[in-house]
């Protein structure tokens, strides 16, 4: 389920213990990631949107583990150097994927 336009009130909400997609995009721009990878954050977040209820609040976000795995894999495909790949990894508090796999639009992909 993808929601193209979120209510602005929800833009600051995030998956528990993760940064919002908006924060990740801002951080990505600061560390000099290519526009293609920044766009990938937006697109992945939209096509993998989940809805959570935490402490009576409704949260809209994608899984940070899956997003991290996807971005690291995409960075390798784009040929980004190890320094930029490490910066991507440090943007997240979460693990990369789930036991070597991640979901993207209901399809399973390997992290390598």
Which residue in this structure is represented by tokens 């980004």? 80
The angle formed by the CA atoms of residues 42, 102 and 71, to the nearest 5 degrees, is 40
Q: Is residue 4 part of a domain?
A: no
User: Does the pLDDT value for residue 9 go beyond 70?
Assistant: no
Overall number of domains in the chain: 1
Which residue would you say has higher pLDDT here, 97 or 1? 97
User: Does the pLDDT value for residue 5 go beyond 60?
Assistant: no
Asked if 101 contacts 108 with a C-beta cutoff of 8 angstroms, the reply is: yes
Please give the residue range of the domain that contains residue 44: 11-110
The pLDDT score that the predictor gives to residue 20 is 67
Between CA 23 and CA 44 the distance in angstroms is 15
Q: Is residue 87 part of a domain?
A: yes
Which residue in this structure is represented by tokens 């495909």? 77
């Amino acid at each position: 389920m993808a929601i193209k336009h979120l209510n602005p009130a929800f833009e600051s909400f995030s998956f528990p213990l993760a940064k919002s997609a908006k924060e990740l995009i801002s951080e990505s721009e600061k560390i000099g990631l290519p526009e293609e990878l920044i766009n990938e954050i937006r697109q992945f977040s939209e096509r993998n949107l989940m809805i959570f209820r935490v402490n009576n609040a409704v949260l809209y976000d994608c899984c940070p583990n899956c997003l991290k795995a996807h971005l690291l894999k995409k960075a390798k495909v784009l040929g980004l150097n190890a320094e930029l790949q490490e910066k991507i990894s440090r943007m997240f508090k979460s693990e990369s994927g789930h036991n070597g796999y991640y979901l993207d639009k209901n399809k399973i992909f390997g992290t390598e």
